[in-house]
Amino acid sequence: MNEVSLEQARETGNLFFECIAGSRAYGTDLPESDIDLRGVFVMPRSHFYGLGRVEQVSDSTNDETHYEIGRFIELLSKNNPNILEMLYSDEDCTRFRHPLFASIRPEFVLSKLSEATFAGYAMTQVKKARGLNKKIVNPMEGPRKSILDFCHVVSGQGSVPVLDWLSQCEIEQETCGLVKVPHMRDVYAVFAGFPTCRGIVRDREATEVILSSIPKGAEPIGWMSFNKDGYKKYGKEYREYQSWLANRNEARYANNIEHGRNYDSKNLMHTFRLLDMAEEIAKEHTITVRRPNRDFLMRIRKGEFAYDDLISMADEKIETIQEAFAASDLPDTPDREALEEVLIQIREEWYS
C-alpha cells in the first residue's frame, strides 16, 4: 500500500483542517515572505487499518505540512507551539475547517506544559542568538589552525609559541622528538638530533602530538605544553562555524549585516513572539496568533535594538513568565483522556 501523498492529504475526502501559518498569520510578513500552510487530514480507512499509515506529509521546502489526525492530537497533548496555534487560527487565515474540528476544545489542551514548549523553546533561541552573535563578531574564516598553534615552550619565567621558538632555534618540527613528562598533564620534554625523533605532529591535519623513543639520559632542548582542551574547543567551534557558513540563509545574513547589529533579527523577533504567547497562555488562557504588538516585533526584525538590550529584555520576560505560570490555575498537563476520546469519536464518525 502506498503512503499518503501531500496531494491526497488535501483531497476533499481526507482534509480535516487547513490554515495559513507562519509570518503571514502572525502579521509579521514582508512582501517577499513565503506562504506557509499547515493542515490536518484523516487517513483513508484502508491506510489506517492496513500497512500504509503515515503521520505527516510535507513539501520539499516544508512550507506546507499536513498532519494525520492522530499525530495532530498527539502533538496537541505535548503543547507543541506550531500545533497549538492551529486551534486559534484567525478566520481570514483558515482555509478549511470540518465541523468535527470544533470537538477539539482548547480547554483540553492548554496547560502549564506550555511554559516549557513556548518559553523554553524561546530560551533555546536566545542561546542560539548568543552563539550566532559570537560567530558574526568573531569570524573563523581562513585556514584551520593546527596543533602547533596551541603549543608553547618554556622561556625564562614565561613561554613562547612553539612555532616562534622553532624559528628562533632554526629547527624544523619534523626533526624534534617528544617525551611525555610524568605527572604533568600535556607537558612534554623536547629533543632534537636523534634518528628516532618523529616530529611533534605528523601534519597540519593531525589531532594528537606524537611521541618518540629517546635514549635514556639525553638532555631535552626545551619543555613544551600542549593546550589540548583549547585545541578541542577551537576545533568544535571551527566546525560549527564552517557548517554555519555552508548552511546559513544568505538573504537573512545580508539583512543582519545591513542593519549592523550582529544578530539574527528574524530569529529574535520570533523569540519575543513566543515569549509573549507564553505569557498570554499563563495569564489569559488563550493564544493570539496575529500579534497585537506587530510594530515592536517588526522593529526587532529591522535591527532597531542593540543586541545586549534585547537579551536583557528577554531575560526579564522569562522571569515574568515563570512567575505567571507559577501563579496560574492552568492544569499541569493537557487532558490526554479527553483528547483520546475526541480522537476516537472523530475516527468513528469519519469512517462510518
Give domain status of residue 272, yes or no. yes
pLDDT band at 1 (very low <50, low <70, confident <90, very high): very low
Q: What is the pTM of this model?
A: 0.67
The b-or-e profile of 130-156 (16+ CB within 10 A means b, else e) is: eebbebbeeebeeeeebbbebbbbeee
Say if 239 falls within a structural domain: no
**Structure confidence at residue 262 (pLDDT):** 62
pLDDT digits (tens, 9 = 90+) for 81-119: 999 999 999 999 999 999 999 999 999 999 999 999 998
Contact 263, 256 (CB under 8 A): yes
User: What's the sign of the alpha-carbon dihedral 101, 103, 107, 112?
Assistant: negative
Same domain as 100, residue 18: yes
Residue 321 lies in a domain: yes
136, pLDDT greater than 80: no
The label of the residue with cell 510594530 reads 295
Of 174, 202, 233, the last residue of a domain is: 233
Ramachandran region, residue 176 (left: φ > 0; alpha: ψ -120 to 50; beta: rest): beta
Average pLDDT over residues 315-335: 95
CA 157 to mean position of chain CA atoms: 45
325 and 190 belong to one structural domain? no
In terms of domains, do 74 and 212 share one?
no
Please indicate, yes or no, if residue 242 is contained in any of the structural domains.
Answer: no
Same structural domain for residues 257 and 134? Answer: yes
**191, containing H or E segment:** strand 187-192
Task: Choose the most confident range, by mean pLDDT, from 11-15, 55-59, 181-185.
Answer: 181-185
Same domain, 156 and 207: yes
Q: What pLDDT, on the 0 to 100 scale, is given for residue 259?
A: 54
CA neighbor of 120 nearest in space, from 79, 165, 177, 90: 79
**Structural domains in the chain (count):** 3
Report the mean per-residue pLDDT for the chain: 89
Boundaries of domain holding 324: 112-139+249-329
C-alpha cell read off for 3: 503512503
* Residue 225 reports pLDDT greater than 60: yes
Strands across the sheet containing 187-192 = 158-161, 151-155, 222-226, 187-192, 176-180
pLDDT grade for 311, boundaries at 50, 70 and 90: confident
Q: Which pLDDT tens digit goes with each residue over 146-202?
A: 999 999 999 999 999 999 999 999 999 999 999 999 999 999 999 999 999 999 999
Out of 120-124, 260-264, 298-302, pick the least confident: 260-264
Same domain, 344 and 288: no
